[in-house]
Amino acid sequence: MNKRLTINDLRHIIAPSILAADPLRLAADIERLGGAARCLHIDIMDSHYVPNMNGGPALVKALSQFTDMVLDVHLMVERPEHVVDMYLEAGADILTIHQEACRHPHRWLGRIRAAGALAGISLNPGTSLEVLRDLLPETDLVLLMTVNPGYGGQKFIPAMFDKIKRCRELLDQQDHRILLEADGGITVENSSMLWQAGLDVMVAGSSIFQAADPAAQVRVLESGNGGI
């Protein structure tokens, strides 16, 4: 199940989002990554917290049996407390809940950690970083949404650059290391600026799976050398 991750295993990495893969050829699309990425981002949507619907614990379990990649599960669901245990059992290595969707995020972050997974908290573009402050002692990863969640292929919201920088400063003031991840609208054009802003993990869906060579695209995103 859990791959005994430590925070130091996850620096400067790309997490391809399989939301942009072909659902009828998912295994083949993951193989097209050719080992270039060590982490896979799995979006779970419930049609309540976000308008779209996608994924479930059976998908996470099947992926955990199929690949050794780190499974980064992003729960875009209302009241994630009802499903956290199912995704832990299914094999999530990183399990991220939305602050806006959960009544007791501090409790559930602790629960994720106690199960041996990395505990992630996500914020929508319109949610202030202030809500993070008292959750950070229980947090391993902060996932900043850089589009409004629910769909792949949207445009990066420019104001999120500054939010990423401010979040990095906040995380660096803590007495344990916390990973910073961003999700939505990440392309080879903005990846260099995003690394510089202080990200550890970049999620990218359409820019990877719509490329002719997804493995090469991962490497370009990782290098940050595709900028204009």
What's the closest the beta carbon of residue 175 comes to Zn ion, in angstroms? 28
Both tokens of 34, joined, read 């050719």
Told to judge if 134 belongs to the known catalytic residues of this protein, a careful annotator would answer no
The dihedral over CA atoms of 160, 215, 74, 61, expressed in degrees to the nearest 10, equals 180
Contact 199, 186 (CB under 8 A): no
Cα distances (Å, whole numbers) of residue 84 to 113, 219, 228: 11, 32, 41
With CB under 5 to 8 Å by kind, the binding choice for 192 among ligand DX5, Zn ion, none is none
What's the closest the beta carbon of residue 4 comes to Zn ion, in angstroms? 24
Binding-site ranges for ligand DX5 (CB under 6 A): 17, 19-20, 41, 43, 74, 147, 149-154, 183-186, 203-207
The dihedral over CA atoms of 21, 47, 118, 158, expressed in degrees to the nearest 10, equals 70
Give how many residues touch Zn ion by CB under 5 A. Answer: 3
With CB under 5 to 8 Å by kind, the binding choice for 205 among Zn ion, ligand DX5, none is ligand DX5
For ligand DX5, the closer of residues 18 and 171 by Cβ is 18
Greatest Cα-to-Cα distance within the chain, rounded to the nearest angstrom: 44
Tokens 């991962």, residue located: 218
Angle at 150 between CA 7 and CA 43, to 5 degrees: 40
Told to judge if 175 belongs to the known catalytic residues of this protein, a careful annotator would answer no
183 binds Zn ion (CB under 5 A): yes
For Zn ion, the closer of residues 29 and 43 by Cβ is 43
From the list 46, 72, 183, 200, the catalytic residue is 183
- Residue 98 DSSP label: E
For ligand DX5, the closer of residues 59 and 110 by Cβ is 59
From the list 29, 43, 72, 140, the catalytic residue is 43
Q: Which residues are catalytic?
A: 43, 183
> Would you tell me which residues interact with Zn ion (CB under 5 A)?
43, 74, 183
